[in-house]
Structure 1
């Protein structure tokens, strides 16, 4: 039996399930978003993975041909080191020209681009690490916010607020639709997020073991073998905290941060360059590089098609809803 979920996210994006497959640097390509679309959710091609406009355009067109009428989006990181400021506007225009209507942004305040994005007819989902940033994003006119808590792989921000607390605060403080991410990889978490007012969830780590992901089988198996205890937080000394798979590189970075209170990003760059981590996706050797991974590693138990992962998550969600039946009963006076 096929179910259709009804939230602000599913209605706005035209997807069946209230789940987003977040953008993944070097990994979120046309194959990734096609697998997501066919699974009933939405994925995002990561623009920073394709720095040449023609390459990004080609990925979008490949995805469009494979997805047909099924929607997908593009992730635009506005960190200058990934997408130089003078190119960001051009990337937004390219995305709109190619008929994509939804973008996921992160990295800095999108306010300067809001008028342009509205003129282009793009729906903007801005990703932030804490509710206080979500409130700011709401005030400048974004359409939705994705709040990604401390449990996430990648950049959880400096506040390190957990997803459960973020969800409750967002339900209290926000008027626009919001999504919850960070450690999300089970259907019961989707139900919990919806119960706290979210319109859906964002998943990253949980989907890294999808068969369709263009990464080495050894890399995926390493994630299956890992547990929620196998991540490391580093780079807080340079105000760029990142959660990654614990390995030789994270040990070296942590040692440098401990030994040198004045360490700089330039000092760390030979170890943390994204090009080093990219090799792990190509070779399966996870001993080196900063490989973003979150606490949802505790839920990555096998490599399988994305459709099967999403089907399991939906089954878990329906089971969670079933468990709620009868939990609360009304007492009849007299």
Structure 2
């Protein structure tokens, strides 16, 4: 059964109940759309909303302060999804001590029945035996094609490859998303998701035509109704256009693309003045400060607000389901145009 939803009757196209790709089949989802794990924001309610809309989301394990908080979030998400599978994000820090809690969080997730994981940062070398024993599905996110190939050789089930446009930490690679993906497809045989700067359904159609199996989005969903953030923050995001972000900390080898707010400009000024260690930036780059001041209190000129230029496609504070429906419509319209062009030849 197809639903017909369109904002342009001339390009009206049926939206299939399922879009078969290697990743939708692997994850058991209806639509090739992943909501990447967003620190402090990817909670049970937001992830469940994405799952109910037909995609996949990942609760960020690092966002929960205690193991018990994490366990409760998993149980809440399971209830909100009605038992549908959902994922967990395990981001591995370059600071070894910063990963001490990750094995325990992985065990808790497995105990609670989670079998879908997004890993990011360092390769999940030490966690792979646990994943394999549990027959879990692992999608590793990376920025370089060579890292994607290494992850494939390690035995992950799929990879996400992000380009320089990604909000948050796009890594040191300076290739844009679609160029990155085109190179990767010559070297990968496992499913590939593309992320970075994607916020419109036309880009989903383009990624699928390129050969990707799904897309990963984040920025366009930050002002969603279900996102756990202050309304003043969400209104600031809706008002931000494609030129409203900036990349900082590249000189430290830790590029961070964020909203171009007062806090980010202070960080940029310190970097321009020669600051070359994280300690020199102090509280300006503190995640806890961002959570408390921007996300909770709505002080959107404070904190490092991870964001990519696709934020310009965020149109309103609206439910996840409405955003997904619009993306589906845009994707199908673009696909119909392409099919019509082929048919005319």
In structure 2, C-alpha distance between the alignment counterparts of 1:82 and 1:58, rounded to whole Å: 26
* Structure 1 position 270 matched with structure 2 position 261: no
Matches within 5 A, 1:204-215: 204-215=218-229
Aligned to 1:240: 254
* 8 Å Cα contact 2:94/2:122 also seen in 1: no
Secondary structure (helix, strand or coil) at the match of 1:327 reads helix
* 8 Å Cα contact 2:194/2:212 also seen in 1: yes
In structure 1, C-alpha distance between the alignment counterparts of 2:181 and 2:40, rounded to whole Å: 29
Secondary structure (helix, strand or coil) at the match of 1:209 reads coil
How far does residue 83 in structure 1 lie from its aligned partner after superposition? Answer: 7.5
Secondary structure (helix, strand or coil) at the match of 2:225 reads coil
How far does residue 303 in structure 1 lie from its aligned partner after superposition? Answer: 1.2
* 8 Å Cα contact 2:35/2:57 also seen in 1: yes
Aligned to 2:13: none
How far does residue 52 in structure 1 lie from its aligned partner after superposition? Answer: 1.1
Matches within 5 A, 1:141-290: 141-260=155-274, 263-278=276-291, 279-290=293-304
In structure 2, C-alpha distance between the alignment counterparts of 1:249 and 1:203, rounded to whole Å: 24
How far does residue 111 in structure 1 lie from its aligned partner after superposition? Answer: 2.0
Q: Output the TM-score relative to the length of structure 2.
A: 0.92
Matches within 5 A, 1:125-140: 125-140=139-154
* 8 Å Cα contact 2:163/2:173 also seen in 1: no
RMSD: 1.6
Per mean C-alpha deviation after superposition, the further-off stretch among 78-87 and 245-254 is 78-87
Secondary structure (helix, strand or coil) at the match of 2:25 reads helix
* 8 Å Cα contact 2:47/2:86 also seen in 1: yes
> Structure 1 residues 82 and 102 mapped into 2: Cα distance closer, same or farther (>3 Å)?
farther
Tell me the alpha carbon deviations over residues 107-129 of structure 1, each in whole angstroms, 9 at most, x when there is no partner: 10112221221001210001111
Secondary structure (helix, strand or coil) at the match of 1:173 reads coil
> Structure 1 residues 311 and 258 mapped into 2: Cα distance closer, same or farther (>3 Å)?
same
Tell me the alpha carbon deviations over residues 266-293 of structure 1, each in whole angstroms, 9 at most, x when there is no partner: 1113210111211201122211111001
In structure 2, C-alpha distance between the alignment counterparts of 1:33 and 1:25, rounded to whole Å: 12
> Structure 1 residues 83 and 264 mapped into 2: Cα distance closer, same or farther (>3 Å)?
closer
Matches within 5 A, 1:1-334: 1-2=2-3, 3=16, 4-79=18-93, 84-260=98-274, 263-278=276-291, 279-328=293-342
Give unpaired runs (5+ residues) of structure 2. Answer: 4-15
> Structure 1 residues 301 and 82 mapped into 2: Cα distance closer, same or farther (>3 Å)?
farther
Secondary structure (helix, strand or coil) at the match of 2:258 reads strand
* 8 Å Cα contact 1:231/1:244 also seen in 2: yes
How far does residue 81 in structure 1 lie from its aligned partner after superposition? Answer: 5.5
For these two proteins, the number of residue pairs brought into alignment is: 330
How far does residue 329 in structure 1 lie from its aligned partner after superposition? Answer: 5.7
Q: Output the TM-score relative to the length of structure 1.
A: 0.95
> Structure 1 residues 168 and 80 mapped into 2: Cα distance closer, same or farther (>3 Å)?
closer
> Structure 1 residues 171 and 80 mapped into 2: Cα distance closer, same or farther (>3 Å)?
closer
Secondary structure (helix, strand or coil) at the match of 1:244 reads strand
Secondary structure (helix, strand or coil) at the match of 2:118 reads strand
> Structure 1 residues 319 and 330 mapped into 2: Cα distance closer, same or farther (>3 Å)?
closer
In structure 1, C-alpha distance between the alignment counterparts of 2:47 and 2:265, rounded to whole Å: 33
In structure 1, C-alpha distance between the alignment counterparts of 2:69 and 2:86, rounded to whole Å: 17
In structure 1, C-alpha distance between the alignment counterparts of 2:51 and 2:241, rounded to whole Å: 28
* 8 Å Cα contact 1:48/1:82 also seen in 2: no
**Misfit runs of 4+, over 4 Å:** 80-83
How far does residue 328 in structure 1 lie from its aligned partner after superposition? Answer: 3.2
